[in-house]
């Protein structure tokens, strides 16, 4: 009881403190410094109509590379924590015919929609991370509907590694051509798609990188799901 | 039903995913069509085996015609059934007589069974609880006939005459 009261008092003090600090930031006023620069120059500098993905992949590409690394470490960490020599699915109840047939029918559509999200990252909200997560949900659906379903591990782990390497490779090509890592060579050196703003084949290397990230995130999260759903088998 | 060849299955999946792509992008820009064709081909190559067992024979004109007619027929059944449930909710005496009945279906195809189960659930007053072989266990809000034949006549028969052509 005393613990709870103390915790509530502490949280109230912290909340008051934060509210006090935020009270001086007026809502709805133009306070953009760097933001205005992004909004004014995003089209001719990156070719993307979606300013968020331009910032995430182009202006601040390093952060995205970091995020991809974090995800990779997370999936490796889960695999390392749950590693056992012999692990199997232990679910016992098979789904009804309605569930299994429905999942089979939905699976291609979810994957296609995930691909739609990551290829249109420079035009519509979304990008590689939501697209990849959508693809992973398709595999989660298969895992939940079938008691014996397993992703093709070898293919998945190889694809994941290759996608991560391609991201770095795209950055390194930029380093060779433009002088710094993750330089957008497709847009700024080749001027590929410059006449095409707002259509699919534009946006410099954003669609390329988002395709890579989408594949990587999709395979990675599926791998995490696979690891979490398996249990150790007693011999 | 014999399984279709792999090419036929692939082509059928490709056509369906590509149509979905057209609806998603809502544009006929050649760039979108190119990427759509590539992506649909990739998705179909990976999933045709689980997506369909009969391949292109799904696209028989008679089946498509029945499927198109089935949509308004089903929507009409849905509107009628929703009004019926609204009446039961608003009626002061609440004339309900719920119970679980067993129905038999003549459908053999799994996709057909899925479509039937969903049609039954979406028309209020009936909910599919479980499907086991050709037996459907249905929760009915107003049981008029608890025998297997009678319940099938009331619940599954109206949909089956369409679904049998579409999926069998």
Average model confidence (pLDDT) across chain B: 84
CB-CB contact of A232 with A166 (8 Å): no
Separation between Cα atoms, residue A147 and residue B101, nearest integer Å: 29
Q: What is the ipTM of this complex?
A: 0.86
The whole-angstrom distance between B144's CA and the closest CA on chain A is 26
Element (H, E) at A222: helix A206-229
> What does the pLDDT read at residue A234?
67
The predicted-structure confidence for B28-83, as pLDDT tens digits, reads as follows 888 888 889 999 999 999 888 888 878 788 788 888 888 889 899 889 988 988 88
Q: Tell me the backbone φ, ψ of residue B78, rounded to 5 degrees.
A: -70, -45
B25 Cβ under 8 Å from any chain A Cβ: yes
> In which residue ranges of chain A is pLDDT below 50?
none
Test B39 with A96 for CB contact under 8 angstroms: no
Rounded Cα distance between A8 and B64, Å, is 63
User: To probe the interface with B, which of A200, A202, A210 has the most B CB atoms within 10 Å?
Assistant: A200
pTM for the predicted model, two decimal places:
0.86
Shortest Cα–Cα distance, B25 to chain A (Å): 8
Per-residue model confidence (pLDDT) at position B2: 58
Name the more confident of B150 and B62: B62
| pLDDT bracket for residue B162 (50, 70, 90) | confident
- Gap between the Cα atoms of B163 and B168, Å rounded: 8
Query: Do the Cβ atoms of B25 and A98 come within 8 Å?
Result: no
Q: For residue A97, which residues of chain B lie inside 8 Å, CB to CB?
A: 110, 113-114, 131
pLDDT score of A138: 93
* DSSP for residue A23: T
CB A234 within 8 A of CB A86: no
Long-range contacts of range B129-136, CB-CB < 8 Å, 24 or more positions apart?
B129/B100, B130/A96, B131/A96, B131/A97, B131/A98, B132/A96, B134/B104, B134/B105, B134/B106, B134/B107, B134/B108, B135/B102, B135/B103, B135/B104, B136/B102, B136/B103, B136/B104, B136/B105
**Domain parsing of chain A, residue ranges:** 93-234
Residue A105: list chain B partners with CB under 8 A: 51, 111, 114
Q: Partners of B131 in the beta sheet?
A: B136
Beta bridge partners of B97: B142
Asked if B24 lies within 8 A of A116 by C-beta distance, the reply is: yes
Low-confidence winner among A12-21, A140-149, B85-94, B142-151 (lowest mean pLDDT): B142-151
Q: How many CB atoms are closer than 10 A to CB B166?
A: 22
What's the pLDDT score for residue A140? 93
pLDDT for A235 equals 60
């Amino acid at each position: 009881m005393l613990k709870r009261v103390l915790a509530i008092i502490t949280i109230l003090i912290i909340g008051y403190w934060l509210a006090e600090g935020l009270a001086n930031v007026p809502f709805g006023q133009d306070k953009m410094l760097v933001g205005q620069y992004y909004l004014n120059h995003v089209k001719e500098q990156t070719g993307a109509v979606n300013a968020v993905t331009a910032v995430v992949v182009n202006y601040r590409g390093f952060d995205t590379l970091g995020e991809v690394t974090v995800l990779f470490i997370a999936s490796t960490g889960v695999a390392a924590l749950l590693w056992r020599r012999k692990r199997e699915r232990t679910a016992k109840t098979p789904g009804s015919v309605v569930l299994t047939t429905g999942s089979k029918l939905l699976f291609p559509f979810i994957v296609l929609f995930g691909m739609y999200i990551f290829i249109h990252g420079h035009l519509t909200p979304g990008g590689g991370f939501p697209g990849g997560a959508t693809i992973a949900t398709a595999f989660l659906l298969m895992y939940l509907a079938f008691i014996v379903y397993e992703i093709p591990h070898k293919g998945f782990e190889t694809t994941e590694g290759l996608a991560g390497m391609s991201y770095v490779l795209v950055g390194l090509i930029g380093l060779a051509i433009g002088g710094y890592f993750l330089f957008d060579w497709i847009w700024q050196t080749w001027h590929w798609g410059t006449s095409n703003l707002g259509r699919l084949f534009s946006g410099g290397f954003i669609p390329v990188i988002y395709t890579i990230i989408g594949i990587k995130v999709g395979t990675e999260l599926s791998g995490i799901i696979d690891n979490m759903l398996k249990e150790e088998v007693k011999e | 039903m014999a399984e279709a060849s792999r090419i036929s299955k692939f082509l059928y999946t490709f056509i369906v995913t590509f149509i979905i792509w057209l609806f998603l992008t809502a544009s006929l820009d050649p760039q979108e069509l190119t990427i759509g064709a590539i992506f649909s081909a990739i998705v179909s190559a990976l999933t045709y085996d689980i997506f369909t067992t009969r391949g292109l024979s799904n696209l028989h004109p008679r089946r498509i015609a029945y499927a198109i007619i089935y949509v308004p027929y089903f929507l009409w059944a849905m509107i009628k059934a929703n009004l019926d449930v609204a009446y039961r909710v608003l009626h002061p005496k609440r004339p309900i007589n719920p119970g679980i009945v067993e129905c038999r279906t003549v459908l053999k195809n799994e996709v057909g069974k899925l479509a039937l189960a969903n049609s039954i659930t979406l028309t209020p007053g009936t909910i599919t609880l479980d499907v086991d072989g050709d037996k459907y266990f249905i929760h009915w809000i107003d049981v008029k006939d608890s025998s297997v034949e009678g319940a099938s006549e009331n619940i599954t028969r109206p949909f089956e005459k369409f679904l049998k052509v579409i999926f069998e």
